[in-house]
Structure 1
Amino acid sequence: MDDRRKFSRIFFNANAYIAQSNIRWPTRIIDLCLNGALVERPPELNVKSPDLVLHFTLPSSDISLQMKVETSHQEKEWLGLRTQHIDVESISHLRRLIELNLGDTSLLDRELSLFIEQHRSGALKE
């Protein structure tokens, strides 16, 4: 893990889409953390677009998660997304998913506290 990274990432291979208004761009999630995701970069997406929302469904379930995101970094094939807002139900499911993959509840509790603190202060940076 990069020393600058504050949130543990889990590999998560899943179909998703990024939405802006009425437009949807299909993508694939590579990994997730409480503060965002790494996805395949949709070629048509303007990465500087405001009001992007990442949508995905947990595998083998009907549980859908969504989070308002902004671009944190980009490469030719990948797009790093930083969470700007996530609803309580989505973060609860995301927390559980990460907890099951990390196997360390205390680490995740610290990260969730950090996420809440940064969100309240408006300093959501990874």
Structure 2
Amino acid sequence: MTEHRERRRFSRVNFSTPITLVQGDQQWQGKLLDISLKGVLVELPAAADYDPQASLTASIPLSDQASINMVVQPAHQEDHLLGVECISIDMDSIGHLRRLIELNLDDPTATERELTELIATL
């Protein structure tokens, strides 16, 4: 997984919370380990049998009223750790995600810089 970290352009923050991944009629409960503006790292149960070529829907509850919801594509898997790349996210979720990243980065201007870079790649 080291090579993925070396290529990373978006700052990741550790954020341990439950996450739900859905693909078709299958659903898995996992543990979110870290998050960035471009994707997440998830610890999945060993029995998670998903199609690595198909997208998944990820839901990350932040509170009773707020959650981050995105469509993700598997990028890499190592044992029970799955790295996924965000391919679609709604405006409310991007607002929550941006605020979460801002609150957890040491450099307050880094989030704005990364958001600008993310928009340029879309």
TM-score where L is the length of structure 1: 0.85
1:114 to 106, 112, 117: 117
1:7 and 2:10 correspond = yes
- SS of residue paired to 1:53: strand
Contact 2:23 2:50 in 1 (8 A): no
Identity of aligned residues (%): 38
Equivalence for 1:95: 98
Q: Secondary structure at the match of 1:48?
A: coil
Q: C-alpha separation between the residues in 2 aligned to 1:3 and 1:74?
A: 16
In the alignment, which of 55, 61, 74 is matched to residue 57 of structure 1? 61
Residue pair 1:41, 1:76 contacting (<8 A) in 2 also: no
Question: What TM-score do the two structures reach when normalised by structure 2?
Answer: 0.88
Q: CA RMSD in A?
A: 1.7
**Stretches (4+) displaced over 3 A:** none
1:31 lines up with 2:34 in the alignment: yes
Alpha-carbon distance between aligned partners in 2 of 1:27 and 1:49, rounded to the nearest angstrom:
19
Alignment gaps of 5+ in structure 1: 120-126
One-letter identity of the residue aligned with 1:17: T
